[in-house]
Amino acid sequence: MPNTFNSTLKTFTLALGLVLLLAGCKQNSSEAAFDNYHQRLTNVLDIDPTPIPNTDVLPLPQKRDLNQALPDIRIGLLDAYELRQCGLFQLIAERNSILGKVQDKTRSLQYELLFLNGLSYCLTQLKPDSDLVAELTPIYQQKQQQLPMIFWNMIFTGEEWRKQLTLGHELVDSEKNSEFLTSLSAFSYVADLVNNNVTTTPTPIAPALIENKYQDLLHHQQQIYNSRYIGDLFYSLARTTTWLNTITAQLNANQDLILCGNNMNQQKAKYLRNVFYKFYVADIQRYLAHLDSQYQQIQPVLQQIHQQLNQAPIQVTPDMQGYIDAYINGEAYRQFHQATLDHVKFWQRLFKQCNFKVGQ
């Protein structure tokens, strides 16, 4: 009896492992749509499909190569006691605490924004000729100069934000629009913060009145914690460009196999037309439009952030500049758009050559 049980258990474990393995190897549905489209076209042409090459992408550089070193500027506790009258003491005490010294990048930015406001407010409340004003003014100026770099460090080295911008290895799922909207909302909020605190100087408010002002920053941090949607979107642009360029090149190379004209058998051309409508228009074109729309929504937000932070003395490595040019400044999108146009042009030529009417 025990032997039978052990044998059954081993068989079940093996079967379960096989199921999990097959599930892990399941092809991405969007990638499968391109594969199906490619296979259908080559079946009509009676040729072997050209192997799809790997897609070379520019990765987000390592944290150590992106982190902007900042000198630690602190106010001594003796001075801090004198700041109780304008509400800054509590912020300084929090920063000097053990927990304050191990804040993540997002909470660190939140603190710096509150601290800058508090400093600015104190400077408006203290007597202009006081020794404390003379001490706080250069600290405020240094902190204000550091703010773009603090934003940079959060976006590109903070765990949650960095994960969003790290390229994935599969095409985005067009059904997961809520993930995109969550990411777009988070980066739009950051763009507004940059605009309101770096590009312009906000009017200071009493610290006690704004202690919860930047809680939305922590909310967005939490919302994007388990997602890397923007990076997957960047990868999807590059990967679909590879697919389109490969398929278009194969169609152009086999143009002579497609017969069109008077007194010619246009059956193969008609089959290709069917594939175009059934698989490209119905699936691929809709997916490409989905990528196009999402990128055109997120790209201006990321570019605005980068342009406003780039005015500061931020050290950008050549690898990071390549990443910025490709995904933030739009070179990957330009290639994607060109690949889409080139593919559509093939079909336009075929329809014209075979005298096919669009929609029939």
pLDDT digit string, tens, across residues 143-176: 999 999 999 999 999 999 999 999 999 999 988 8
171 and 89 both lie in a single domain: yes
For the CA atoms of 186, 191, 192, 195, the dihedral, rounded to the nearest 10 degrees, stands at 160
Q: Looking at the domain assignment, is residue 328 inside a domain?
A: yes
End of a domain among 210, 227, 244?
227
186 and 80 both lie in a single domain: yes
Q: Looking at the domain assignment, is residue 260 inside a domain?
A: yes
Regions of the chain where pLDDT drops below 50: 1-2, 4-6, 8-25
pLDDT value at residue 2 = 46
d(CA 354, CA 357): 9
Q: Looking at the domain assignment, is residue 285 inside a domain?
A: yes
Residue 166: burial class (beta carbons within 10 Å; 0-12, 13-18, 19+): middle
251 and 203 both lie in a single domain: no
Yes or no: say if 118 and 218 are a contact pair by the CB < 8 Å rule: no
Secondary structure tally for the chain: helices H, strands E: 16, 0
pLDDT value at residue 78 = 54
222 and 330 both lie in a single domain: no
Number of domains comprising the chain: 2
74 and 215 both lie in a single domain: yes
205 and 88 both lie in a single domain: yes
Q: Looking at the domain assignment, is residue 16 inside a domain?
A: no
313 and 302 both lie in a single domain: yes
Yes or no: say if 147 and 198 are a contact pair by the CB < 8 Å rule: yes
Domain range holding 290? 27-58+230-354
Q: Looking at the domain assignment, is residue 20 inside a domain?
A: no
195 and 296 both lie in a single domain: no
195 and 258 both lie in a single domain: no
329 and 235 both lie in a single domain: yes
71 and 176 both lie in a single domain: yes
d(CA 69, CA 58): 24
Q: Looking at the domain assignment, is residue 236 inside a domain?
A: yes
End of a domain among 227, 259, 274?
227
Q: Looking at the domain assignment, is residue 19 inside a domain?
A: no
End of a domain among 227, 243, 263?
227
Q: Looking at the domain assignment, is residue 359 inside a domain?
A: no
335 and 281 both lie in a single domain: yes
